[in-house]
Chain A
Amino acid sequence: MFTPVLSALSCFMPQSVFGLDTLFYPCPFKAGVRSGYIDSRPENPQDHLAAKEAILIENLMLFLKYYNERILLEFLQHLKIIGVSIPISILVSVPIGIYISSRPRIAKIVIYIAGILMTIPSLALFGIMVVSFAPWGLGLGMVPAVTAITIYSLLPITRNTYTALNSVPAGVLEAAKGMGFSKRQTLWKIRIPLSIPVIMAGVRTSVVLGVSVATFATLVGAGGLGYFIFSGISRSNFAMVLAGAVLVSALGIGVNWFFMQLEIWLTPRGLRVGRK
């Protein structure tokens, strides 16, 4: 099982990532399988890959052994970045979504702008943040990272809030109005509760997106699991890159699951029960 997966992966990785890590002093990783390439003698490719794999696994073990504290630290830091930016994003996007829900013209513009923000390449956005905050001495650290991720997650939440609030069935709104609900009561008692599942789906999209974008946080000095990926690349340590990537994915899957449970829990019961 393991062999073909790694073999496939290795095809995409530059040779250096497997090998040249011996140049890196404090990390006691072994050199990769260069031999096969150096003396360019055709060998049995199976043996070749198996040898590569063995070294990779060994390197992974060493990595985990020497870096376990750092892994925990950066993992928590990654969570912290998300844990700060997503609530900020919710606090900004949901009210915006509510505000524009009854103003279709403004809504169009707002969603368009949020859409453009999302198309900025994430790396560039982090760069822009660094430059923008530099005059206040905040160019590095949590501030630019959190801001960039918040900006990134605006669109899914705003758009979902807007869409959900506007897809409450007309009959329900008509009944509410006819029974003497004020606009505010209709919003709080009818439209928002009915919109929760869709808003939460938007939040979930943002969180998952945020987890992966936060990989770049390390580049602006905010740490996080991106550290392993970028250090791994610069040290040509495939095991480190792989570990970092797997951790980011696992975190993404984890928060997605968590928010799915939250979504179910927050959804009003009447929307969850079907006909028996």
Chain B
Amino acid sequence: MIEYRNITKRFGEKIAVNNLNMTLEKGTITMLIGPSGCGKTTSLKMVNRLVDPDEGDILINGESVFDLDPVKLRRSIGYVIQEIGLFPHYSVFDNIATLPRLHNWDEKKIKDRVYEVLDMVTLDESYADKYPSQLSGGERQRVGLARALAADPEVLLMDEPFGAIDPINRLILQQSFLEIQEEIKKTIIFVTHDINEAIQLGDKIAIMNQGSLVQFDTVSEILANPENEFVENLLGHDRNLKALSLKKARDYIKKEGYITVGPDVDKEAIRKELEEKDLVLAYIIDSRGRLKGRYYIDKAARKVDGRYPLVRETRPYHVERTTSLTETLSRMLEYGEKVLPVVSRNGRFRGVIDLDSIFEEVKQAGTAKGA
């Protein structure tokens, strides 16, 4: 747990951080966002005492950081910056081993740990012997993260870590970052410029403007109830849509409006069952419950012998349980489907999600905002 208590920092006349009060729960990610120069980096750097405040106190687990030796304090905190700052003359291995070596771990333990964190950031062992100049930007940032995690710090400070990485790799990094956090549950302060990143990664968002904290709350609360116009503008006009990105398909699964059939069921039997139930969709499920395809009665096509044709597709579009509603919606629009099957990570069929449920969700978010 990290507590900012009445923190004020001035640079000459300029107040960089103005009476900041904020408590960050253990094991959560707090996203620090706001316009350039609003004091995000300054607030972050006061935790590991790269900057000392003029007034106030910062406590980590109840202990004031100002009672600790700054060098020791920094060794106990993970620090990741946009420039990454890998040591160019150290191999990836030695970069990651930096803090364990400062802590005088024995070499065997260091080696095991280096490979463990490399694996965590999804880099294979062959990277250990490379040098920073031989890595791509995304790989470098993974190594930077691995280096910060190596000594297993409880607190992680990240200053726009993905800011200099191209959009595609940024998405991949964000995804693996979330997966890593799922596993390690660190207390993280994460500075960003990107509201989508804040929504995607944060448990809570702290919005700053001109040195002051404007709003500090959970992501859904901020999206639903922005404190003022400044926050509304920061969130953008499409914040109802953004709210959808927090919601997962798994919570909107319906188990009706379709039938399931085995892979070898006779076409006529399927048509008969669909007509009896007045449905058009049949999903093909194998013996282990995995989605293999679908049949549908194509009512847009011309009738043959007085009946619409029954079409078989072996690779139907689908979403996963953890796919966000925004992503689900965009796939529906892209594929031109109002209903998509939902599968678990190992491909098992779990039900369907339909466009109506998503509309319902947007409508509710809209009324919550009005309230």
Q: Residues of A at under 8 Å CB distance from B?
A: 169-182, 190, 193-194, 268-271, 273-276
Contact = CB atoms under 8 A, between A and B. Distances in A.
A171 B81 contact: yes
B74 A180 contact: yes
B89 A194 contact: yes
B79 A172 contact: no
14 contacts: A175-B79, A175-B83, A175-B144, A178-B79, A180-B74, A180-B76, A194-B88, A194-B89, A270-B87, A273-B131, A273-B133, A274-B133, A275-B133, A276-B134
Contacts of A173: 85
A182 B71 contact: yes
Contacts of B98: 179
Interface of B: 48, 50, 71-76, 79, 81-91, 98-99, 102, 131-134, 144, 147, 157
A194 to B, nearest CB: 6
B81 A178 contact: yes
Contacts of A268: 88-89
A269 B99 contact: no
A267 to B, nearest CB: 9
Nearest to A194: B89
B89 A270 contact: yes
A208 to B, nearest CB: 27
Given A194-B89, A270-B132, A171 B71 contact: no
A175 B131 contact: no
A194 B147 CA distance: 19
Contacts, number: 83
Contacts of A271: 88-89, 133
Given A175-B85, A178-B48, A180-B102, 16 more contacts: A169-B85, A171-B82, A171-B83, A171-B84, A172-B83, A172-B88, A174-B81, A175-B87, A177-B74, A179-B79, A179-B99, A179-B147, A180-B72, A182-B71, A269-B131, A270-B91
A179 B102 CA distance: 9
A271 B134 CA distance: 10
A242 B133 CA distance: 48
B89 A269 contact: yes
A273 B88 CA distance: 10
Nearest to B103: A180
- In order of increasing CB-CB distance, the 6 nearest A-B pairs are A171-B83, A175-B85, A180-B75, A268-B89, A180-B74, A178-B79
A179 B133 contact: no
A275 B86 contact: no
A165 to B, nearest CB: 14
A169 B83 contact: yes
Contacts of A276: 134
B85 A172 contact: yes
Contacts of B86: 172, 175
B218 to A, nearest CB: 29
B183 to A, nearest CB: 22
Given A180-B75, A180-B99, A273-B131, A175 B81 contact: yes
B131 A270 contact: yes
Nearest to B98: A179
B87 A190 contact: yes
A231 to B, nearest CB: 49
B85 A174 contact: yes
B84 to A, nearest CB: 6
B74 A179 contact: yes
Nearest to A273: B131
A269 B134 CA distance: 12
A179 B72 CA distance: 9
A177 B75 contact: no
Contacts of A270: 87-91, 131-133
Contacts of A174: 50, 81, 83, 85
A180 B134 CA distance: 26
A32 to B, nearest CB: 59
A179 B71 CA distance: 8
Contacts of B89: 193-194, 268-271
A109 to B, nearest CB: 28
Contacts of A176: 85, 87
Nearest to B135: A275
A214 to B, nearest CB: 34
A124 B243 CA distance: 81
A126 to B, nearest CB: 41
A271 to B, nearest CB: 6
A80 B87 CA distance: 39
